Each structure stands twice: as C-alpha cells, then as structure tokens.
Structure 1
Amino acid sequence: MASWLVRLFGRVACALSARGAERLGRLLGLVWFHLVRIRRPTVLRQLRAAFPSWPARRVRSVARELYGNLGRWAAEFVRATGPERVRVEALAGVDVEGLAAYESATAGGRGAIVVTAHLGNWDLAACSQAFAGRRLTLLSRRLSNRGLDRYWMERRRAAGLEIVEERTPFVRLAELVRSGRTLVLIVDQATPPEQGGVRIPFLGRDAWTTRLPAMLAVRTGAPIFPVFVHSPAGARHRIRIEPPLAPDAASGRPLDRVLGLTRAINERLERRVLEHPDQWLWLHRRWKEFPRAPQDRR
C-alpha cells in the first residue's frame, strides 16, 4: 500500500505545476507532522538536546518546518527524476558552488570521495549531478519496505547514479575510487562499532560515526570533498562543494590520520546543521547507543 501511494504521489506531482507540486508535498509533510507523527518524538527530543537554550515553541516550529520541507523535497525529487518535460524545469533550479576545485581534482579520470548528509534536498542534488554527466557512485542503505526501496532506487538510477549497497566490501569501494569514480558517502547516521563506528563529538554530544571515508582516503590517497545542500522554499537549490580534506601525512599512525579526518568531517557537517537546522533530517537517531565497545574490524 505504501509503495502504491508513493507512486501515485509521484505521478500527481509530475502532472502538477512546480509550485502546485511543492504545495502538495509540503501539505503532506505537515499532515505527517501533525497527524501521523512518525518519528516526531525523536525529532523533538534530539532538537531539545542539541539546542537546550531554545524555548519549546521554537523547537516545535523547527520540527514542523522540517516535515514540511521533507514533503516538498519529495515532490521536487520525483519531478527531477520524472518525464523530461518536468525534469528539465526541476533541474534548472540547481546551482553549484566550488565546482572548479572538484573538477581539477578529478581531471584525467582520477577518483574522489564525497561526504554528504541528509541536509537539504540531498537526493535531488545527487541526481542533478549524475544527469550532468559526473561519474557518481552512491553507497546507500536500503529501505525496509521493499516496494518503497524499489521505487526510490528506480528514480535514482534513472538519473544515472550508480548505486552500491552499504555492505559492499571495503576493498571493492577502494577499487571504485582508484578506477576514477567519485564515491558518495552519507555520513550522518549512527554507525555501530562492529561496522567500524567510533564516538566523535557532534552537536555537543558524542555520536557513533563512520570512519569509512577517512579510511578510504588514507588507503587510496583520494581527496574528500564535503558537499552540502541548502534547499529553501521558493528559492534555488544550492550545492556547496567545500574545500577538500586530505590526511595529514605528518600526523603519525594511519589510525590517527583516520580519526583526525573523521573529526574534521563531523565539524564541517555540524557547521551546516547549525546554519539551517530545519534542513537536516532529525528523524534518524543520530546519538543512538550500541552495547559493544568499538573495534577495528576492517
């Protein structure tokens, strides 16, 4: 049923005007916040912990705006990966900053690592760059609902994104980077210690954080480009490619370089979340606890 409803939403969004689709998406997002309330307690709790000085009214307002944004972004995403007549219009509203440094680093078929987050319309941004001909490989978790997951992956692949599953071996990911692909990693979800997660400060509290991008950079020598998206209502999407991060060869052991890079990635992301808290996906349990002590399994 959920898959059928999402496909219906996609068809309706593509049939409407851009503004009509955005309004429909926002309305459904607000219904999700006020009536369905999925993950709403998690969102409110994490916002209160991250911004303890905020009054309750502001916490609720930011949470409400987030849900409205999610609905709007869903409408924009299905239009950007839909029929050509609506796709061209949707993708025309995307600007990219900092592209020159990325193109210089990847000239001659060299690979790179992009770290990003569920910030702004992240899926639309990735698809827009795949449509532009960039060789992007996205490491993605799968949705538990198979129908929804199939639809989501169909839309991403329609844009030209190569998708690899989260459990792809490290050696294979390193090969992709060495072969000249840009590997896109979403780094803002809790990573358990048995998957290489380490506790790194994020928004004032330690959070289990993936070491994967840092480990790949140390192993392959590829630069890490933090890339974040800002998607305000009624304005253009802005993809910001930040200056690259590289392992400090003078910092000693490879593990020290990995941890240093991982902290730097979290710091970059934290700054962007603080700028636009209503644009980050607070629905994930970012500070989830795991029972086991961290171990290096790679």
Structure 2
Amino acid sequence: MRDALYEFAALIGGKLNVASASRLGDLLGRGMWRMLPSRRALAVSAIAERLGVEPDEALRLARESFRHNARSFIEIMLTRRMDLRFIRERLTFADPERVRFLAETPRPVVFATAHLGAWELQAGSLNVYPGKRKVIVVRRPKDRALHEVMTRLRTRPQVDVVPHRQAVMPVLRTLRKGGMAAFLVDHNCTRDEAVFLPFLGRLAAVNVGPALLAVRAGALVVPGFLVRSTGNGYVQHFDEPLDTETLQGDRDARIAATAAFYTEAVERYVRRFPEQWFWMHRRWKTRPPEEDALSPS
C-alpha cells in the first residue's frame, strides 16, 4: 500500500510545473510549521543563537525556512524537467565564466552543496555539463520504497545516484575518468565519519567523506548553491575551486583543509541566505569527544 502511495505521488508530482510546485510547497511549509512544534522551536532557537538576531527576526526566518524547505521536498518532482530549455528559462548563473571553465576542464570535480535553496534541483542543473559522467551521493532513507522512488526521480542520463555508504568506488571511478561528483556536506554525522570544525560559531561534526574522496582523486572542489530568486527563478552560485593537488601536508592535513574549505563556504551562504537553509535539522547534535570529559557524570 505504501509503495503504491509513493508511486501515485510521483505520478501526480510529475505533472507539476514550477509555479504549482511553488504553491504546493508553500502550503506544505505552512502545514509543517503548525504540525511540528518541536522542529519549529529548534529552528527558532538555532537561528537566534547562531545568527545573534532578535526573537521576532528569528521567528520570521524560521517560518520562511520551513516554506523554502518544503518547496525543496516538492521540487524533487521537477528534477526530470530540468533540461536545457528549463535551465535557459529559469536559471541565472552568477558567474557564467566559471560554468564554462567547469564544463571544459579535464580535471575531476567535486561539487559541495548544502540543504540550502533548491538543493533537490541541483541534480538537474548538472545537465549544463553534457558529456561528463556525474554521480550524486545521497543519504538513503530507512524506507526502501521511498528510497527507490526518490532515486528514480533524481537519476538522469549520465547522472547516477548512490547511497553515501556505498559511494567510495562509484565516486572514485567517476572522478578518475574526469567526471563530477556532488555531495550535500552540511549533514550532522557520527564521530567516526567526522572532523570537528567551527560552523556558525560552534563546533560541528563535518563529514570528511567528500574531502577524502576529493583528495584521493586529486579533484577540484567547488562549492555550489542553487538559490531561489524572484518570480520562481533560480540563481546558480559557484565559488572559486579549491585544487586539492596544491594542498600541503600529509593526507590527514589535506583532508581537514578540504573539509574546512567547504564548511566555510556553506557558512557564508547560510549567513547570506538564512531563510533558505534547513534550520530544523539538528546540525550540532554530535559533539566532540572532549566535551564528554567535561560533562557531569
């Protein structure tokens, strides 16, 4: 029964256009705001603490964050529609020269993005790089049927979707052939996956997996964020790449430097577009080991 519901939702969602997806996302966001009081309180508290804003402003940003993130959930239905026509009509590139460079470079590229803006549509935006093999690394939901539907919606010609715990070999094969790999790098993660780095004024567990794979492949690391703009449009931002082959030190030092690079990039964009980030996520849940020693027994 649940499988059929997911398939039905995907079928109906496939008929959405950008405007209807936006309206549905706004409606869903308002419903989530009312029905998830603990997540609402978490978002308001995190915004007030991490951004240092007044309570009224924290409340406003949190409400907007729910709306934007609900739109992101709905926009997975639009991923298959992101052909070159969609990109020409809906996307503006903040730096077109960088897009051309990334399309022409023979070097492997690791895209580091976050739960900010239209993150689900990032998969479709990779269509601006025809001829390059791409792999998108995702966290697999516990629900098998949901995972299968989401994977099908995200997968495109020349774009593979792999769960993060099975990503090492597919990513390395793609990168070593001059391809591209994309990661969401702002998840909380377990200690054994993490290096602890400052993020919005507090240490956070940062997944080193993308950094490790980028260093092993000698890749360029490019922070990229698809931010919503007016009129149901989008602006694609790409920052200056980090060339992992120019980093100094041993492997651990190069991995840590790469993880710090993309964490700092995420922070810049969260501060710039705070209403579009996923504040309801328990980003600082995993704590560094030294805090255990300071906790009362």
TM range (shorter): 0.7 to 0.9
Whether 1:194 and 2:196 are equivalent positions in the alignment is no
Structure 1 contact 116–226 (Cα < 8 Å) conserved: yes
Residue of structure 2 in register with 1:62 after alignment: 61
Taking structure 1 as reference, are residues 264 and 83 closer, same or farther at Cα in structure 2, changes over 3 Å only?
closer
- 1:34 counterpart = 2:34: yes
Moved more, 150-159 or 93-102: 93-102
Q: Mark the CA change 1:14 to 1:211 in structure 2 (over 3 Å): closer, same or farther.
A: closer
Q: Give me the TM-score of the superposition, normalised by structure 1.
A: 0.83
Query: What corresponds to 2:101 in structure 1?
Result: 104
> 2: CA distance between counterparts of 1:80 and 1:28?
19
For 1:50-79, what per-residue CA distance to the aligned partner results, in whole angstroms no more than 9, with x for missing partners? 123x22222121111111122333344313
1:255 alignment counterpart: 252
**Residue segments in structure 2 that go unaligned for 5+ positions in a row:** 291-297
CA distance in 2 between counterparts of 1:55 and 1:3 reads 44
Return closer, same or farther for 1:269/1:97 CA change in 2, 3 Å cut-off.
Answer: same
Which of residues 223, 229, 234 is equivalent to 2:231? 234
Which residue is 2:214 aligned to? 217
TM-score normalised per structure 2: 0.83
**Secondary structure in structure 1 of the residue aligned to 2:112:** strand
Instruction: Note closer, same or farther for the CA distance 1:2–1:280 as it changes in structure 2 (3 Å cut).
Output: farther
Aligned to 1:79: 78
Taking the TM superposition and a 5 Å limit, the aligned residue runs for 1:168-183 are 168=166, 170=168, 172-183=170-181
% of aligned pairs identical?
A: 26
- 1:45 aligned residue: 45
Report if the CA contact (8 A) 1:137-1:162 is conserved: yes
Aligned equivalent of 1:246: 243
Query: Counterpart amino acid of 1:70?
Result: N
> Residue deviations 1:1-43, cap 9 Å, x none?
7765565555445545543332122112111111344732332
1:127 touches 1:159 (CA, 8 Å); kept in 2?
A: no
The residue aligned with 1:167 is 165
Amino acid aligned to 1:204: G
Q: Distance in 2 between the 1:255 and 1:193 partners?
A: 16
The one-letter code sitting in structure 2 at the alignment partner of 1:178 is: R
* Structure 2: distance between partners of 1:149 and 1:250: 37
> Residues of 1 paired with 2:18 and 2:246: CA distance?
49
> SS of the residue aligned with 2:187?
coil
1:128 is paired with a residue whose SS is helix
Aligned to 1:95, what secondary structure does the other structure show? strand
Alignment partner for residue 138 of structure 2, among 137, 140, 150?
140
Please state whether the residue corresponding to 1:207 is helix, strand or coil: strand
Quickly say closer, same or farther: Cα 1:49–1:167, change in 2 above 3 A: same
Give the drift of 1:254: 2.6
Q: Contact conserved, 2:108 with 2:175, CA < 8 A, in 1?
A: yes
**Residue pair 1:198, 1:210 contacting (<8 A) in 2 also:** yes
Kindly state the Cα deviation for residue 266 of structure 1 after the two structures are TM-superposed.
Answer: 1.2
Please state whether the residue corresponding to 1:67 is helix, strand or coil. Answer: helix
Structure 2 Cα separation of the partners of residues 167 and 204 of structure 1 = 29
| Structure 2 Cα separation of the partners of residues 74 and 208 of structure 1 | 24
Deviations 1:142-172 (A, max 9, x none): 1122232222111101465211221126455
CA change 1:17–1:218 in 2 (3 A) is closer
CA gap 1:277/1:159 in 2 versus in 1, 3 angstroms:
farther
User: CA offsets per residue over residues 147-203 of structure 1, 9 Å max, x none?
Assistant: 3222211110146521122112645533321122201111101222212x1100000
**Partner of residue 152, structure 1:** 150
What's the counterpart of residue 122 of structure 1? 119
Give the conservation status (yes or no) of the 8 Å contact 1:94–1:125.
Answer: no
Q: Which digits, 9 at most, give the CA deviation of each residue in 1:187-233, with x for residues without a partner?
A: 101222212x1100000000011222332333222111111121135
Q: How many residues align?
A: 289
Answer yes or no: is the 8 Å Cα contact 1:106–1:112 preserved in 2.
no
In the other structure, the counterpart of 1:269 is: 266
Change (3 A) 1:282 1:213: same
